[in-house]
């Protein structure tokens, strides 16, 4: 148990260093979000699975930060120690770590809304139809639309990402297939 807590605190520290070194002003963040373009190009897809760190907390942080270019919204969920909580999020190109007080709130919000992360297959996209999940994450993403597609993907032993995208079929299917291939490589 101490090993899990150690690795999670290490991941939290890595995320904070990675994302909080150069805080953006509200105006800068608004500009980035306003001009955000979802990336479907081969260069972003190739970079997704390349040169990933071997250490699980580092690997999780890097994968999550790379996914933010490929989807509009994302929540990094951690399931150890139980229960599931949000560690970080991205919204149209802006990445934020969750303060411990908000992590505690997310724990309450997610009880029952997210499947057991340990039971999810690695690198497989699942499309939950649950309105409970949509309602649970909507406070974190006020601009999310009702027709946005929600996906869950497990990216490490004790973490998964809830992703949201506006891509429609047939582009969504192709995009997910390409992301899946990049993650598996």
Ranges of the chain whose pLDDT falls below 50:
1, 4, 18-21
Residue 115 has a pLDDT of 61
Note the pLDDT tens digit of each residue in 135-160.
777 777 777 777 788 888 888 888 88
Burial degree of 139 (CB within 10 A; 0-12, 13-18, 19+):
exposed
Which residues contact residue 168 at a Cβ distance below 8 angstroms, ignoring those fewer than 6 apart? none
Residue 106 has a pLDDT of 58
Instruction: Find, among 110, 133, 100, the residue nearest to 88 by Cα.
Output: 100
Q: How many percent of the chain have pLDDT more than 70?
A: 74
Cβ–Cβ under 8 Å, residues 108 and 97? no
Residue 42 has a pLDDT of 84
């Amino acid at each position: 148990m101490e090993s899990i807590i150690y690795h999670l605190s290490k991941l939290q520290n890595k995320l904070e260093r990675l994302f909080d070194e150069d805080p953006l002003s509200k105006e800068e963040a608004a500009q980035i979000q306003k001009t955000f373009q979802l990336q479907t190009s081969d260069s972003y897809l190739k970079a997704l699975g390349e040169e990933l760190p071997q250490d699980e907390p580092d690997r999780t942080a890097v994968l999550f930060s790379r996914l933010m270019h490929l989807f509009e919204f994302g929540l990094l969920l951690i399931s150890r120690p139980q229960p599931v909580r949000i560690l970080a999020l991205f919204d149209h190109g802006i990445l934020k770590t969750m303060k411990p007080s908000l992590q505690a709130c997310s724990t309450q919000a997610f009880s029952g809304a997210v499947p057991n992360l340990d039971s999810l297959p690695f690198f497989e996209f699942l499309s939950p139809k649950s309105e409970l999940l949509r309602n649970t994450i909507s406070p974190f993403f006020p601009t999310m639309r009702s027709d946005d597609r929600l996906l869950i993907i497990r990216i490490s032993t004790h973490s998964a990402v809830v992703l949201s995208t506006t891509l429609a079929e047939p582009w969504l299917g192709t995009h997910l297939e390409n992301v899946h291939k990049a993650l598996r490589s």
